[in-house]
Each structure stands twice: as C-alpha cells, then as structure tokens.
Structure 1
C-alpha cells in the first residue's frame, strides 16, 4: 500500500495558527529522530544502535514488538524512516518532506510505502482505509508535537 498526503503548516488567512519556519519544522523532525517517544504512541523506548555519516539505525521497543529502522535525511528537506523487515514486521517506509511552494507557505508531505496488500476482496484490503485514517491522525499529532516544541513546550 502506498499512501501520501499533505498537511499545511502555515495559514496566512488564520492568525490563530502561529507560523513556523522551515528551521523550526526541521528541528521538530530531528527531535522525532532522536526522541520518538512523544511521536509514537505505545513506544516504550528507543535505542540508537549505530550512527553513520549518512544514516542511523534505531531499535524501537513497543513492549510486545521490537522493530529496527534506518533513518536517512537531507538537511532541511526530508527525513526517511525505513523499517527493516524482521520476524515481527514485514517492513515499510515513511518519508516526511518539507515543501515550500512559495515563501512562507510550508507543508509537510507524509509518504508511506508498506507491504500491506490492497487487492480488492483480500482480507487486508478491509483494513486499508482504517490504516490510512490512523496514519493521517498520527501525522496531525506529529505536527501538533512539532508546534509544541517550537513554542518551547514539553511534548509529553
């Protein structure tokens, strides 16, 4: 299953939403890499297993499941999380890109690629809409946490 969507970050027409800079968004995404606990409900701990010049490997402990992922990034542009296939997970990826079609108009694009089959009539197909909805809600929560961080608050 491939799924992607945009979330608008700045809305010049709504003065109740404080605008964020590209740098503030980037700092929030870096926080998600280094301390994903506020971003991933159910995550009990995260250990960075290896750091390399171009990526890092993490082990995510969800209690009943341990998942390893590889994180790559292009500074101020995008972050990619590749879940490594294992006994408890078939693998997949999430890429979060910062888009700025015009100055000050910022968006985050969330692009998912999973091994979930979306064949019509398959047992897994019944869950596709639910999973897309859950991803979208999680991404809205991610933006909320980034806003909290940018305002100097505690995301916990």
Structure 2
C-alpha cells in the first residue's frame, strides 16, 4: 500500500502561530532520527548501530520486539526511514520531504510504502485505519518538532 499526504507547518495567515524555519524543521527531523522516543509512543530505546555520511542504521526496541531500520537523508531536503518486514513488524518506508513553495511557507510531505495489501473488502477498511493512524502520527511529529524548536529558542 502506498499513500502520501501533506502537513502544513506554517500558516502565514495565523499570526498567533509561531512560524518554523526550514532549518528548525530539519533539526526536528534529525532529532527524530537520532532519538525517536518522543516521536514513537511505546519505543523504549533506540540504538544507533552504524553511522555514515547521510545514513544511520538503528535498532528500535519496543518491549521485547526489535525493529531494525535504516535512515537516509539529504540535508534540509528529505529523510527516509526503511525497515524490512519481520514477524513483529509489517515493514515499509516513510519519506518525509520539506517543501517550501514560497519563502516561509513550509510543508512536510509524508510518503508511505507499506507491505500491507491494497484490495477490496476488509483490506480497504484496514488501509483506511492505517492511513488515519499514520496521519495522526505525522501531526504528532510536527507537534514534537514545534516543542523542540520552542525549547531551542528559549535557551
């Protein structure tokens, strides 16, 4: 199953909302790669097992379940999380792109490719639940990025 959606970071028409720069959003995404615990409820710990230019290999520990994934990225542009399917985890990939069609008008594009089947009947219903859960998770990602940016501004 493949799907994507766009999350607006800055609402330039809302003066009450603090706008984030592309750099602040990128820093938040780097935090998600280095220590995803604030972004992933239920995650006990993250171990970086390998680090190279533009990539990390990680072990994500959820109780007794361990998910191995790889994070690749192009600075200030995109970040991709990829994991293989296992007995405990469906596997797939998530690419997050920072888009800025106009200066200050920042969006995050979340692109998912999962091992879940797209089909008819119950598969369609499951796909709808998965899309909805991922969308909520992505809104939470932006909330955490906002908290990180705010805490950095206070220092």
Return the TM-score normalized by structure 1: 0.93
Instruction: Give the aligned partner of residue 117 of structure 1.
Output: 117
DSSP-derived class of the 1:128 partner: helix
- What runs of 5+ residues in structure 2 fail to find an aligned partner? none
Instruction: Give the aligned partner of residue 66 of structure 1.
Output: 66
Deviations 1:89-119 (A, max 9, x none): 3420000000001111100000100010011
Q: Give the aligned CA root-mean-square deviation in angstroms.
A: 1.3
Contact 2:54 2:74 in 1 (8 A): no
Instruction: Give distance in 2, aligned partners of 1:90 and 1:108.
Output: 24
Instruction: Give distance in 1, aligned partners of 2:133 and 2:86.
Output: 23
Instruction: Give the aligned partner of residue 142 of structure 2.
Output: 143
Bigger proportion of residues as helix: 2
Contact 2:61 2:67 in 1 (8 A): yes
Instruction: Give the aligned partner of residue 75 of structure 2.
Output: 75
**Shift of residue 142 of structure 1?**
0.4
Instruction: Give distance in 2, aligned partners of 1:114 and 1:59.
Output: 19
DSSP-derived class of the 2:138 partner: helix
Return the TM-score normalized by structure 2: 0.93
- What runs of 5+ residues in structure 1 fail to find an aligned partner? none
Divergent runs of 4+, >4 A: none
Contact 1:76 1:98 in 2 (8 A): yes
Q: Does 1:132 align with 2:131?
A: yes
